[in-house]
Structure 1
Amino acid sequence: MANQKSLLHPVIATGIVINIFVLLLAVAYRGDTAGLWRLLIEDGIVEWMQFLCFTVLSILLGFAFFERLKRADRGALELLALGGLSLLCALAALEEISWFQRVLNVQSSEYFLQNNRQGETNIHNLAVGSGSLHKNVLLKLIAIAGLTHNLILPLVARFKPGVRSWVEKLGLYLPPLSASVIYLVLVALSHALIDHPRKGELGEMFGAVHYLATVFAAYFAGVQYTRPTLFENPADIRRLSKLFASWMVFLLFVAWLLSAGAGAGAPPAV
């Protein structure tokens, strides 16, 4: 049976607190140009947090894939969804830091220098029309998928429980509506309160943290998830949830350290 106490679950609550903290930090830095750049610049705190969240997400989904693979009731679509999403999150993590290009100080090839909007070795900033693949295509797809998954389907599932069952048979899950609403409100607030050319990075980080929390909560802890969880003992699930919540806070600390090590801080030269 699904656990309904979504906002009280330590992992979901921790994800919400982390996102609120980063938004408040951005608001506090509005009068500090260097501080806001340190938060949002390439190799800044927000970008490294996205990389870490996507990396852990890839590991969680890969773990879920191999655990489901062992079960007799596994379905082909379920395995395809979990395996595909694990690879997609790994790709997103590597794209976020341009495949370690800046970390390793590797120069872009001639192709990327000519066709990438930022001269980086990645796919999402390739030129498409007057903008980039990320801005002109991917952001629109992410917005449609995000609203459908976080708002439309959970609302429909409240009146038609069969929708949740159908989604879960596909190997997916529906986030708790309360957590999704908070996530979407924080994204809207980041656009309304922050005046910065890279303010969109905040919404992307909020999404990465939100999905890290809700993926764990669904597959591992059974929060508003009707299928059997990957761990069965309730006491073990509670202990693991508290440990994972602590790990999420540690990820933010690591992102801060990585941004300092990468030298993020000063705004780009005009």
Structure 2
Amino acid sequence: MEKIIKIVVYVLLTASFLGATSFYYTDEFYHSLVAEDGIFENITALVLLSISVLFLIRYIKEHKTRGRWWKVLNILIVVGAFFGFGEEISWGQRIFSIQSGEFFAANNIQQETNLHNLEVGGVNINKLIFSQGLVIIFGFYFVLAQLLYRKWDKFQALIDNFGVQLPKIKQSVVMLLATGLVLMVPDKRIWELWEAMFVTILLWVFIEPWNSDEKILKS
């Protein structure tokens, strides 16, 4: 299973990088990739669902031998990844042709039933939480977490108690390259593609972390 997921990860990342560069030589094809309900938005949703399922399986297998904070983090990831999956597909709204309620019709930028496109009181929820907030958190995660783990005993103990998977250097480099590539494309829809790369790299970290004892798939 691990080998299969790695192959899928490598294929998705390669396709994502090629998809981003397609902006410069095949505009129509590029926009089909990053369109609403396009291939990369669906990839993001499916990868998030996969993460949720894999962490649920991990929890079922290991929770009896793990501590309280490990359980808390794993449940949060199961719920959080599933929430992200639901948000990406607007909780099945377009699949089942469900009309948005009055609140979402009035306050959602795309008139969809999801939270990440809400704009309340002039505040864009997606920009505030799902963009700026996550950039800070995962910027720290990919750039500094492993270094602090090596140098700071208290941080190491915290990571071990929660069972956090830390990225390898190669994974952090790929994440930085992906972000740099996306920043070079002058089109706001490119972030749909970045989201697909981001969650795919996270899945890669989860199955092949630097601290190998915390990998979610064990032989």
TM-score over 0.5 for the alignment? yes
Specify the structure having the higher radius of gyration (Cα).
Answer: 1
TM norm structure 2: 0.88
Q: Which residue pairs with 2:15 in the alignment? A: 21
Higher relative contact order (CA 8 A, sep 6+): 1
Q: Aligned letter for 1:80?
A: V
Deviations along 1:3-62, whole A, 9 cap, x unmatched? xxxxxx885575345223222123124343321221001110110000000000000111
User: Are the counterparts in 1 of residues 16 and 196 from structure 2 also a CA contact under 8 Å?
Assistant: no
1:213 to 194, 204, 207: 204
1:78 aligns with 2:70: yes
List aligned pairs for 1:139-178, cutoff 5 A: 139-160=131-152, 163-178=155-170
Q: Please tell me the root mean square deviation across aligned C-alpha atoms, in Å.
A: 2.3
1:138–1:22 distance in 2 versus 1, CA, 3 Å: closer
**TM-aligned CA distance change 1:137 to 1:129, over 3 Å:** farther
Q: TM-score, normalised by structure 1?
A: 0.73
What residue in structure 2 maps to residue 196 of structure 1?
187
In the alignment, which residue of structure 2 is the partner of 1:126? 118
1:163-217 C-alpha deviation (Å, 9 max, x unpaired): 444302112221112211211211111221x222211112211111011121122
Q: Is the 8 A contact 2:56 2:75 kept in 1?
A: yes
Question: Which residue in 1 is equivalent to 2:211?
Answer: 224
Q: Structure 2 unaligned runs (5+)? A: none
Pick from 105, 108, 111 the counterpart of residue 113 of structure 1.
105
Cα distance, 1:227–1:210 mapped onto 2, change above 3 Å: closer
Per-residue displacement from partner, 1:56-98 (whole Å, max 9, x unpaired)?
0000111111112232xx1011001001110000000000110
Does structure 1 conserve the Cα–Cα contact (< 8 Å) formed by 2:55 and 2:216? Answer: no
Q: Structure 1, unaligned stretches of length 5 or more?
A: 1-8, 232-236, 238-270
**Residue 100 of structure 1: aligned partner:** 92
The answer to whether the 8 Å contact 2:207/2:217 transfers is: no
What is the aligned-residue identity percentage? Answer: 25
Alignment correspondent of 2:34? 40
- Supply the AA of the counterpart residue of 1:178: K
Equivalenced residues, count: 217
